[in-house]
Amino acid sequence: MIQSKEELEDWYNCDDPWKYDNDPHDIKRKEIFFSELPVKNFINVLDIGCGNGFITNDLPGKSIIGVDYSTKAIEQAKSKCKKNIKFIQASIFDLNQVFDKKFDLIVITGVLYPQYIGNAENLIYALIDNLLEDNGYLVSVHIDDWYKSRFPYLLIKDYNYEYRNYNHKLEIYIK
């Protein structure tokens, strides 16, 4: 069952519900993410499921957009914003109506779980495919036991590491 918007909004009633900012596991996760991210001059960057901007705020790129379904998460992200980043409240299922441009980097972390997307993996792939430029990069980071599907692009990096009590998988694809 997909988590309701009300449940998600309730979750974001505190500033850092996931405890990202001070948790050593999340600090390590962020360090790993940025150490593995290709060094490139990205132009248009999209962070799907940006939450409070924990990763978004440090993404490289000329134009960076963070999207989350939670209005409260977007408010938190805007309040913590370190640079010129645009934050938008939208559902992952509506992204093709929200954007009429392509991105050379798309980041999606901790989103592709049944409670957020149900069984709509193929739809999500089609939505992302429509948004990702040819030769664009997709960075997907998820708890491996919770998400077993893979994107239909060239996998150029597959990195596993311990995250809290789980095995985290960071994958970098090129379209």
pLDDT of residue 7: 66
Cβ(127)–Cβ(68) under 8 Å? Answer: no
Average pLDDT across each block of 10 residues of the chain; the chain has 175 residues. List them in order: 66 64 87 95 97 95 95 92 90 93 96 75 90 97 84 94 91 97
pLDDT of residue 83: 80
User: Hey, what domains does the chain have and what are their CATH numbers?
Assistant: 5-174 (3.40.50.150)
Measuring CA to CA, which residue among 93, 170, 88 is closest to residue 124? 93
Cβ(144)–Cβ(168) under 8 Å? Answer: yes
